[in-house]
Chains A and B, each alone.
Chain A
Amino acid sequence: MSSLHDATTGTERESRGESPVEQDQPLLRVRGLKKHFPVNTGFISSVKLNRSGGFPLTLDDTKVRAVDGVNFDLHSGETFGVVGESGCGKSTLARTLVGLEQPTDGTIVFEGEDISDFDSSSLQQFRKNAQIVFQDPQSSLNPRRKIGSIIADPLEAAGWDKDKRRDRVLELLEDVGLEEDFYNRYPHEFSGGQRQRINLARALSINPDLVIADEPVSGLDMSVQAQILTLMDDLQDEYGLTYLFITHDLSVIRQVADRIAVMYVGDFVEKAPTSKLFAEPHHPYSRALLDAVPNPDPASRDLSAELHGDVPSPSDPPSGCKFHTRCPKIIPPDGFSREEYIEYVTFKTEFDERSVDPTDDPATYFDVSLPRLAQSTVEKAFTLAEDGDWDAAKAELDTHQSVCETAVPDLEQVADASRHTSACHLPDAEREPYTW
């Protein structure tokens, strides 16, 4: 097995990632892709009582912005990784791309044809060319059907006759490292790793160009993970596949991806070639993610839990840079130090959730003492909140705002690195070099 993964494979991969051959037409081009889900389904449930005067009913059209404007190109033969915490929208992205969800906005162009409408005849062609592999190999295989017929499903849909289907399935079983006599067995007879091999065989049956893999190794043991990852690598060479690989595991993504996008609450915050992202992560969120990965090598540095709290709700994402509520590198406004302003932002978030008791002494909410100006703001806000006017109190607190809260950062090219983009207001000069 080691001969398949000698040093040359590694260098080829690196060079592919760093100086890619720009093709005229990407295999998949995604522009401004959005997928929003309504919080309330149907008219009746979205009507809410409004007691603040005026017309007594309002329409609650809050949306969960699962994917909120994502752009990327996928070139033939590459592996593009999308990484992020749960709830960041990465699985919705996968489902929207293969047409399991109708996109709210944006375009998906596959081999030059727009398929985002999903009613054109190009859709059927697209389905032959794009396949998805899901996380849970157990629930994505019908327990009452034999392996042979499960793998042959896409072939049947494509109109292959029975004998050809059988030959093809036997060939596929061999390709994914399973035995021919598994043809007549049922899914429950297999381990998680073997089931994921079956899923791969099914996905590959009609020779797709694009395979979207949504957390394909998450439920598997470490030794089995390595098996599936090397298998996917071999299959990529053999079948000339393009992968969109979605995972929350940075160790896994490093093994497979040529380029990586880091996703946070529906947006890509950083896109970079793999080696670049791991050596010089730019966005504070990418850095915090890397810091949180436990590394088995005792010589590497300890992990640090830089990020506190959970991913904010995508139905009411934070203003400006969505990461500002948890960012350890937030740009403080005039008069604040970074440490003070992080405290202030945390307090503002708590205040928004109304988990602050306005009758308390404001000082108990802060570990560091705030600048005098901010202290009086907080006191005013407490007085307003005590009178019940939370909105005015919130407005009062918002007199101190960071650029991170007021302006949405664009995905911009990182200094002198082509194809490395990051959405952060922090100037390049203020970043420390990243070390493992």
Chain B
Amino acid sequence: MSLLEVSDLRTYFYTEAGIVRAVDGVDFEVEAGESLGLVGESGAGKSVTVKSLLGLIDVPGKVVDGEIYFDGQALHEMSEQELRQNVRGSDISFVFQDPMSALNPVHTVGSQIAEVVEYHTDRTEAEAWERAVTLLDDVGIPDAEQRADQYPHEFSGGMRQRVLIAMALSCDPKLIIADEPTTALDVTIQAQIIELFEEIQEKYGTAIVYVTHDLGVVREVCDRVAVMYLGKIVESAPYDELYQDPHHPYTQMLMRSVVTPDRDVSELEPIQGTMPSAVDPPSGCRFRTRCPREFDECGRYEPPRIQVGENHDSACLLHDEQFEREEPALHLDSGAAETDSTSGSRGAYDE
């Protein structure tokens, strides 16, 4: 059994403008020690998905359906109190995007970490403080003993993110959820934090769910990726395979629109338009309004996630034999060299 099993998760927001179907039927699993990247554009529902796991959805939002099993426990059946005492911060911890707003400005960082330790374990105050100092040292904060006594404003952005990571590690979690933890940081600091996540995985074998829109970061941190589009997972595969052989038209276009340091502007092909509103998502396949390969049936059937390789699935009707296309409408010859080299293998599928 997997460490985390999520099935048919649905989180809706009841707003004046209508029901926002932010997450609308998401299934995924995370094995112990594995790191899963959750990627997609803003509004795809990545953050809402991970917040739903821990009951962190506020009014007017509500988890309306779905089952979440973590290590054999049914999280979807737990009360807020049970989640707080037994899961959040201990078995599953969270690293947020903005470390400044996640830390309390009027308490020292050491006391904030020690508080978590005291709450979840039976350590005494002094032991908890000691643990906090050790953790700060572990995440690469120099002079941890003195720094533990300082306030969040005395830390730089990168150091604050290290503090949050130390806090996340404080109760030896089995799973860390990181929601865009490096988006606000400089590349050089981002590189340090990425290396820290890699070290953590190696040292503690913690499973990680890493939410980001940056494929470069996913490549460094994650074993497997799930691509989200408008509240659904459209493709899931080991990262290298997804990069070299994306099956879903959205993933294919995403790969060609991504700005990378060694690609020329001539190779850049932006996906046109914006994601439709989650209040009134397109019928059938949600990507069809922007998809160059759309055909009649796309509006009629919601595509299931079809197995296209080992550990690789994609939710597109094109993968279903009964909807095979004579000629692929999407030509890949004008694209990047990387996609060129893989069009052969995909061609075999499209025939």
List residues of chain A with CB under 8 Å of any chain B CB.
1-2, 5-7, 9-10, 13, 85-86, 191-194, 221-227, 229-230, 233, 248-252, 254-256, 278, 288-300, 302-305, 307-308, 310, 350, 355, 436
With beta carbons under 8 angstroms apart, the residue of A249, A288, A297 that contacts B188 is A288
Report Cα–Cα, A191/B273, bound state, in Å.
11
- Say yes or no: B41 contacts A221, CB within 8 Å: yes
- Say yes or no: B41 contacts A223, CB within 8 Å: yes
- The stretch among B70-78, B200-208, B253-261, B302-310 that forms the contact with chain A is B253-261
- Say yes or no: A298 contacts B239, CB within 8 Å: yes
Chain A contacts for B220, CB-based, 8 A:
294, 302-303
- Say yes or no: B188 contacts A355, CB within 8 Å: no
Chain B, residue nearest A221 (CB): B41
- Say yes or no: B187 contacts A2, CB within 8 Å: no
Chain B, residue nearest A296 (CB): B215
What is the CB-to-nearest-CB distance from B201 to chain A, in angstroms, rounded to a whole number? 14
What is the CB-to-nearest-CB distance from B335 to chain A, in angstroms, rounded to a whole number? 8
- B146 at interface by CB-CB < 8 Å: yes
With beta carbons under 8 angstroms apart, the residue of A194, A255, A290, A292 that contacts B259 is A255
Q: State whether A222 and B265 are in contact (beta carbons under 8 Å apart), knowing that A295-B219, A355-B143 are contacts in the complex.
A: no
- Say yes or no: B266 contacts A298, CB within 8 Å: no
Report Cα–Cα, A296/B190, bound state, in Å.
15
Report Cα–Cα, A269/B264, bound state, in Å.
24
- Say yes or no: A229 contacts B261, CB within 8 Å: no
What is the CB-to-nearest-CB distance from B142 to chain A, in angstroms, rounded to a whole number? 8
- Say yes or no: B265 contacts A305, CB within 8 Å: no
List residues of chain B with CB under 8 Å of any chain A CB.
41-42, 142-143, 146, 156, 158-159, 186-192, 194-195, 213-220, 239-240, 243-244, 253-255, 257-272, 274, 334, 338
Report Cα–Cα, A39/B157, bound state, in Å.
21
- Say yes or no: A249 contacts B265, CB within 8 Å: no
Chain B, residue nearest A353 (CB): B143
| 8 closest A-B pairs by CB | A294-B216, A10-B266, A226-B270, A292-B191, A305-B191, A296-B215, A227-B270, A226-B257
- Say yes or no: A221 contacts B42, CB within 8 Å: yes
Report Cα–Cα, A226/B239, bound state, in Å.
22
Chain A contacts for B253, CB-based, 8 A:
223
What is the CB-to-nearest-CB distance from B342 to chain A, in angstroms, rounded to a whole number? 12
Chain B contacts for A254, CB-based, 8 A:
259, 261-263, 265
Report Cα–Cα, A227/B159, bound state, in Å.
33
Chain B contacts for A193, CB-based, 8 A:
274
Report Cα–Cα, A302/B142, bound state, in Å.
25
Chain B, residue nearest A87 (CB): B186
Chain B contacts for A191, CB-based, 8 A:
274
- Say yes or no: B156 contacts A310, CB within 8 Å: yes
Residue with the greatest number of chain A CB neighbours at <10 A, chosen from B143, B219, B220, B261 = B261
Q: State whether A222 and B266 are in contact (beta carbons under 8 Å apart), knowing that A294-B194, A308-B192 are contacts in the complex.
A: no
Chain B contacts for A307, CB-based, 8 A:
188, 191-192
Report Cα–Cα, A1/B192, bound state, in Å.
37
Q: List 28 A-B contacts (CB under 8 A).
A: A5-B269, A7-B266, A9-B265, A10-B264, A10-B266, A85-B188, A191-B274, A222-B257, A223-B253, A226-B268, A227-B271, A230-B265, A230-B270, A248-B187, A254-B259, A254-B263, A255-B264, A255-B268, A256-B265, A292-B190, A292-B191, A294-B194, A294-B217, A297-B243, A297-B338, A298-B240, A305-B191, A305-B195
Report Cα–Cα, A180/B268, bound state, in Å.
27
Q: Dominant SS at the B interface?
A: helix
Q: State whether A304 and B191 are in contact (beta carbons under 8 Å apart), knowing that A222-B213, A222-B215 are contacts in the complex.
A: yes
What is the CB-to-nearest-CB distance from A3 to chain B, in angstroms, rounded to a whole number? 9
Report Cα–Cα, A229/B268, bound state, in Å.
9
With beta carbons under 8 angstroms apart, the residue of A225, A249, A350 that contacts B187 is A249
What is the CB-to-nearest-CB distance from A424 to chain B, in angstroms, rounded to a whole number? 18
Report Cα–Cα, A292/B192, bound state, in Å.
8
What is the CB-to-nearest-CB distance from A73 to chain B, in angstroms, rounded to a whole number? 23
What is the CB-to-nearest-CB distance from B6 to chain A, in angstroms, rounded to a whole number? 24
Chain B contacts for A10, CB-based, 8 A:
264-267
Chain A contacts for B190, CB-based, 8 A:
292, 294
Residue with the greatest number of chain B CB neighbours at <10 A, chosen from A194, A296, A297, A310 = A296
12 extra interface residue pairs, beta carbon distance < 8 Å, beyond A295-B260, A296-B255: A1-B269, A6-B334, A222-B214, A223-B253, A254-B263, A288-B188, A294-B217, A295-B219, A299-B338, A303-B191, A304-B191, A310-B189
Report Cα–Cα, A249/B182, bound state, in Å.
13
- Say yes or no: A226 contacts B269, CB within 8 Å: yes
Q: State whether A294 and B259 are in contact (beta carbons under 8 Å apart), knowing that A193-B274, A305-B195 are contacts in the complex.
A: no
- Say yes or no: B268 contacts A298, CB within 8 Å: no
Chain A contacts for B269, CB-based, 8 A:
1-2, 5, 226
Chain B contacts for A9, CB-based, 8 A:
265-266
What is the CB-to-nearest-CB distance from B225 to chain A, in angstroms, rounded to a whole number? 11
Residue with the greatest number of chain B CB neighbours at <10 A, chosen from A223, A299, A305 = A223
Report Cα–Cα, A302/B221, bound state, in Å.
11
- Say yes or no: B266 contacts A5, CB within 8 Å: yes
- Say yes or no: A289 contacts B187, CB within 8 Å: yes
Chain B contacts for A230, CB-based, 8 A:
265, 268, 270
- Say yes or no: B259 contacts A278, CB within 8 Å: no
- Say yes or no: A305 contacts B188, CB within 8 Å: yes
What is the CB-to-nearest-CB distance from B312 to chain A, in angstroms, rounded to a whole number? 15
- Say yes or no: A226 contacts B266, CB within 8 Å: no
- Say yes or no: B244 contacts A13, CB within 8 Å: no
- Say yes or no: A5 contacts B265, CB within 8 Å: yes
What is the CB-to-nearest-CB distance from A362 to chain B, in angstroms, rounded to a whole number? 16
Report Cα–Cα, A294/B338, bound state, in Å.
17
Report Cα–Cα, A252/B265, bound state, in Å.
9
What is the CB-to-nearest-CB distance from A63 to chain B, in angstroms, rounded to a whole number? 21
- Say yes or no: B262 contacts A278, CB within 8 Å: yes
Report Cα–Cα, A132/B192, bound state, in Å.
33
Report Cα–Cα, A434/B149, bound state, in Å.
42
Chain B contacts for A304, CB-based, 8 A:
191, 195
Residue with the greatest number of chain B CB neighbours at <10 A, chosen from A5, A6, A222, A304 = A222
Report Cα–Cα, A250/B216, bound state, in Å.
12
- Say yes or no: A223 contacts B257, CB within 8 Å: yes
What is the CB-to-nearest-CB distance from B230 to chain A, in angstroms, rounded to a whole number? 13
- Say yes or no: A436 contacts B262, CB within 8 Å: yes
- Say yes or no: A2 contacts B243, CB within 8 Å: no
Chain A contacts for B194, CB-based, 8 A:
294, 303, 305
Report Cα–Cα, A193/B192, bound state, in Å.
29
- Say yes or no: B261 contacts A310, CB within 8 Å: no
Report Cα–Cα, A355/B263, bound state, in Å.
44
- Say yes or no: B265 contacts A255, CB within 8 Å: yes
What is the CB-to-nearest-CB distance from B131 to chain A, in angstroms, rounded to a whole number? 22
Residue with the greatest number of chain A CB neighbours at <10 A, chosen from B158, B220, B268, B334 = B268
Report Cα–Cα, A248/B213, bound state, in Å.
17
Chain A contacts for B259, CB-based, 8 A:
222, 225-226, 229, 249, 251-252, 254-255
